[in-house]
Structure 1
């Protein structure tokens, strides 16, 4: 596959990178941040972001078993903690927005596991990775591309 365009304004790139870094810092859990970003990237079919965040997930200690079962996290039993499951459910709700909003039950479950500042950072992180996914997929940036 050839990229449609690799042009991305440096100020846009920098703003998104800064927003993502701030959200990760505020969440304070690098492994969970990568799980969330991988899951959103799976849902959005973003090979570029999957390639990047799978490597970062491994670097931050996410197990191969979790990565192997991430696409079926709801059926994976105790492979994921209740906290991780709440974050993944929120990731799917924000990414897909099936009914145009995040269901109250999904938000309430996440709120049981994350205090308000961390929940805000988690939602911000999910929003930023979705923006990156859309930028990469719409421009057809291939996995591992040096130009993006």
Structure 2
């Protein structure tokens, strides 16, 4: 796969980076934020974002290799992930894969049990922004470690 050289407009890049930072900050838990980023990137098959967010989760936030390796099978991983993390991952999948054209009530209500209104808004923002980043990187064919801008 050849990396496309199209550059993101600095205004777009800066707005996306600010959106991402605000969403993650409002979640409060950097590990949870990275699990969300990784799970959406797995679904969207964005190698660039997977590479970056796994590095952040493990290198910066001390996440275990085991939890990263099993993230794709989080439902079957027992209590390796907390109830709050599982609720966030369920919502991540529902927002990322809008096959029915909406987020199922069950996924939203489960997340609402574990997150305050503000946290839930930030969680949805974090899911939205990583899906946007995934689409930018995948459509531009940006490979892991490649130039994002």
TM range (shorter): over 0.9
Q: Which runs of 4+ in 1 moved over 3 A?
A: none
In structure 1, what is the Cα distance between the partners aligned to 2:3 and 2:145? 12
Gaps (5+ residues) in structure 1? none
Residue-by-residue CA offset, 1:96-123 (whole Å, 9 max, x unaligned): 0110100001000000000000000000
In structure 2, what is the Cα distance between the partners aligned to 1:61 and 1:74? 22
Q: 1:70 corresponds to which residue?
A: 71
Q: 1:60 corresponds to which residue?
A: 61
Q: 1:80 corresponds to which residue?
A: 81
Q: 1:45 corresponds to which residue?
A: 45
Using structure 2 for the length normalisation, give the TM-score.
0.97
For the Cα contact (< 8 Å) 1:65–1:79, is it kept in 2? Answer: no
For the Cα contact (< 8 Å) 1:40–1:130, is it kept in 2? Answer: yes
In structure 1, what is the Cα distance between the partners aligned to 2:143 and 2:124? 26
Aligned residue pairs total 148
Gaps (5+ residues) in structure 2? none
Shift in alpha-carbon separation, 1:46–1:13, aligned structure 2, 3 A? same
> What RMSD, in angstroms, separates the aligned Cα atoms of the two structures?
0.9
